[in-house]
Structure 1
Amino acid sequence: MTKYLISFPGEAMVVPDGEWDDVAAASRAVIVEAQAAGVYVFGGGINEDVDPVVVAADGSVSAGTYPDVTVPNGGYTILELPSRAAAVEWAAKIAVACRCPQELREFQYDPIS
């Protein structure tokens, strides 16, 4: 099976005041469904309160990201699925729950993961 990344940038999620609890409950329900289906690998949101760093091959650390790259934020879910069509179906479920479009990407096959 193939692993898929379903994600959205933080600024895409525009939720009216008073509706955050509903969105959180809906998104958690999709994750519970994915876990029950045995397709859930990992999910979570980037902690935007912690600044990113770049760790070089020599172990040195510098503040920021790669040059000309925006800082990733928002939410990420990784699912292992039998087809791209199944990935689109799960991305749609997450889009409904989070009330924003989702980007779908496919991981390349890695024989040791």
Structure 2
Amino acid sequence: MAEYLIYFNQQWVGDHSEEWFRGRGPLARAVVEEMKAAGVLVFTGGLEEETEDAFSADATSGTLLITDGPYVETKEFLGGLAIVDVADDEAAKLWAGKIAEACGWPQEVRRFKSRAQSS
């Protein structure tokens, strides 16, 4: 089994009506329940959209510096994510596809390094 990150940038969501978003909620919750039932869900969640509430930690100078706001000023920022533990790339693609269809916007998938590689 391998862990994969399935995520989207907030800007990929697009402009939709409140009614459209309300219609997507049950679809997205159903996919999360399906992932739980299949035993592949590690974690899922959406992030607050207000980047001014974000803060950053930077120790690259040798001294820890905590600052308000995102580390990098950018037009794109992470909107939400799911971590799944599945057998292979094909299974990760299956779940990313289900999430994309339920949410109505693209998802990107990245495999985590194996614990042996990252230590």
Q: TM-score range by the shorter chain?
A: 0.7 to 0.9
Q: CA deviation at 1:74?
A: 1.0
Where in structure 2 are the equivalents of 1:61-72 lying within 5 Å? 61-67=66-72, 72=77
Unaligned stretches of 5+ residues in structure 2: none
Residue of structure 2 in register with 1:42 after alignment: 43
Residue of structure 2 in register with 1:53 after alignment: 55
Distance 1:59 1:71 in 2: 25
Distance 1:4 1:70, change over 3 A: farther
Residue of structure 1 in register with 2:27 after alignment: 26
Q: CA deviation at 1:87?
A: 0.4
Residue of structure 2 in register with 1:3 after alignment: 3
- Could you tell me which of 87, 94, 113 is aligned with 2:92? 87
% same residue: 35
- Structure 1 window deviating more from structure 2 (26-35 vs 73-82): it is 73-82
Contact kept, 8 Å, 1:65 with 1:71, in 2: the verdict is no
Q: CA deviation at 1:110?
A: 1.3
Contact kept, 8 Å, 1:9 with 1:73, in 2: the verdict is yes
Contact kept, 8 Å, 1:43 with 1:77, in 2: the verdict is yes
Distance 2:79 2:98 in 1: 17
Q: CA deviation at 1:76?
A: 0.6
2:34 counterpart letter in structure 1: E
Q: CA deviation at 1:71?
A: 5.9
Root mean square deviation, CA, Å: 2.1
TM-score, reference length from structure 1: 0.85
Aligned length: 112
Contact kept, 8 Å, 1:55 with 1:61, in 2: the verdict is yes
Distance 1:110 1:72 in 2: 27
In proportion to residue count, which structure has more helix?
Answer: 2
Unaligned stretches of 5+ residues in structure 1: none
